[in-house]
Amino acid sequence: MNLLNEKIENAKSICILGHERPDGDCIGSTLAIYNYIRNKYGDKKVVRPYLDYFSKNFLILPNADKISNDLMCADTYDLAIIVDSSSIDRLGDYKRYFDEAKDSILIDHHENNTFPSKVSIVFPESIATAQVLYDFLDKDYIDKNVAICLYVGIATDSGVFRYKATNSKTLKIVANLIDFGFNFTDILDKIVFDNTVNQRKAQGIAFDRLELLYKGNVSFSYLNENDLNSLNLEKKDIDNVIVYLREIENIKVAAFAYQVGNNIFKLSLRSKSDAINVADFANKHEGGGHKLAAGCIYYGDIQTIKKNFEKDIKEFIEAK
């Protein structure tokens, strides 16, 4: 029995935790574990997934309605299972459930993971936490529900099987998953590709502001709080803007800034070159992530941020 199954076996009560503003990998991995434990143990264990608010598109995932965003639950848990989180601060206020749990295990794929769990299972070469998880689940208890959740985790973190870390192992796992016979076309449309009209309008605003910085090496755009409020959108609704900023010819890095506070913007970063590790860049600016996809913080009004970011990224790229 591997460590994950051992810890689950020995715990009567389990909470599952992931990072703030959870993405498809985080939500998919959380629900894969939830459904897996239910398949294996029925109602014999208390299992509570806790995540920050997420896009309602993910409510089609099996048992997504079981995810709680309650920060005030008085219960403590024998085991906290943490997914897709590279450091303790990524849990946000849900950290308290980890602090209060007797035991903990982390499943993740971020390089330089610093999460202080009792046991850490981290494979940075893996495209998604859901891919790491697949190897640690007992295949007898993977059913269609678990398969859908793992599929969505892998599909979303790999840009639907396109990003560099996608490999034959990823596709073999995905082949096994789709053999459970779910309508993946429909799931991908509902979770990845379909947008609301206001999301498309926000993308329109961002495209209108698109600029190339540093001699065409870097694409840059932004949305501020006003834009989001006027379209009634939240950060989770504009996650895909960076995808399009990346799909621009001849650039090396894409950057999308979105306002998270007064004179505070979060930058989503994407690199198109193995030689440019945006996680290293992000680490210097209160962030982190992966080599090719990372996030960090800049302060000031957007024009100041653009100027400072251009200078920093120029220095960073030239140092390579």
Enumerate binding residues for ligand 5GP (CB under 6 A): 86-87, 90, 242, 268, 287-290, 293-295
C-beta closer to ligand 5GP: residue 16 or 37: 16
C-beta closer to ligand 5GP: residue 176 or 240: 240
Indicate which of ligand 5GP, Mn ion, none lies near residue 24 (CB less than 5 to 8 Å, by partner kind).
none
Q: Residue 320 in contact with residue 278, Cβ under 8 Å? A: no
For residues 36 and 63, give the distance between their C-alpha atoms in angstroms, rounded to a whole number.
Answer: 11
Residue 45 CB, shortest distance to Mn ion, in Å, is: 25
- Rounded to a whole number, what is the distance in angstroms from the first to the last CA of the chain? 44
Indicate which of ligand 5GP, Mn ion, none lies near residue 252 (CB less than 5 to 8 Å, by partner kind).
none
Q: Residue 123 in contact with residue 132, Cβ under 8 Å? A: yes
For residues 235 and 241, give the distance between their C-alpha atoms in angstroms, rounded to a whole number.
Answer: 10
Residue 43 CB, shortest distance to Mn ion, in Å, is: 30
C-beta closer to ligand 5GP: residue 11 or 150: 150
Contact code string over 286-315 relative to Mn ion, x by CB under 5 A: ------------------------------
Phi/psi at 51 (5° precision): -140, 155
For residues 55 and 67, give the distance between their C-alpha atoms in angstroms, rounded to a whole number.
Answer: 13
Does 239 bind Mn ion (CB under 5 A)? Our answer is no
For residues 187 and 192, give the distance between their C-alpha atoms in angstroms, rounded to a whole number.
Answer: 8
The DSSP H or E segment spanning 47 is: strand 46-50
Does 108 bind Mn ion (CB under 5 A)? Our answer is no
Handedness of CA 192, 196, 198, 200 (dihedral sign): positive
Rg of the chain over Cα atoms, rounded to whole angstroms, equals 20
Does 25 bind Mn ion (CB under 5 A)? Our answer is yes
Burial (CB count <10 Å: 0-12, 13-18, 19+), residue 275: exposed
C-beta closer to Mn ion: residue 52 or 84: 84
C-beta closer to ligand 5GP: residue 153 or 287: 287
Indicate which of Mn ion, ligand 5GP, none lies near residue 52 (CB less than 5 to 8 Å, by partner kind).
none
Of the candidate spans 68-76, 83-91, 200-208, 295-303, the one that interacts with Mn ion by CB under 5 A turns out to be 83-91
Indicate which of ligand 5GP, Mn ion, none lies near residue 5 (CB less than 5 to 8 Å, by partner kind).
none
Which residues of this protein are in contact with Mn ion, per CB under 5 A?
25, 84, 129, 157
